[in-house]
Structure 1
């Protein structure tokens, strides 16, 4: 594990840059995490980030793309538009959560 500073906060990250402790995440970290992967957060992004955080707290694991789509009513196509390329991985990263199971 590596300690790094993001948005003025010292956090532990793994070799891919994901926070190793979701408790270290805060809403002021999210815009900087998003910027690091080329995103600018909109209210639609925040809706998904907040869902992921709440779902993780209750389920104990990061929601899959399918679960995010089903539970939030957001079409998978929209998830790809909001988080281009690898939406599940990018949503988890910005939300300060581990990659979903099965995510490469």
Structure 2
């Protein structure tokens, strides 16, 4: 991928994001993406463009519960799916800046 990223691999310009970018980054993390993942990623991108914010964990959980499905809108499911920092991983896959409170 030839898109410009920061030292942590996050896209510098979220408007350059593509589904191919997400698939490439997920592959690097050993994470296969499916329809649910893209629904979550698209909801996250919409939130970012509406509020100029990559949501940390609590708002992320609420966003997914309200805009994707209640089965996926809980921290346990998210951590099982995306590891110990779901907000960080999802922001990376969505081509968004790293949430402020993520390491």
Deviation at 1:47, TM superposition (A): 1.6
CA contact (8 A) 1:65 1:87 kept: yes
The gaps in structure 1 that reach 5 residues or longer are 1-5
- Higher RCO (C-alpha 8 Å, min separation 6): 2
- 1:73-93: CA deviation from partner (whole Å, max 9, x where unpaired): 111111111201221110011
CA contact (8 A) 1:45 1:82 kept: no
TM-score, normalization: structure 1? 0.86
- 1:18-60: CA deviation from partner (whole Å, max 9, x where unpaired): 1111011111211111111111102221121011100000000
More strand by share: 1
Aligned equivalent of 2:95? 96
Alignment: residue pair count: 96
The gaps in structure 2 that reach 5 residues or longer are 66-72
More helix by share: 2
CA RMSD of aligned residues (A): 1.0
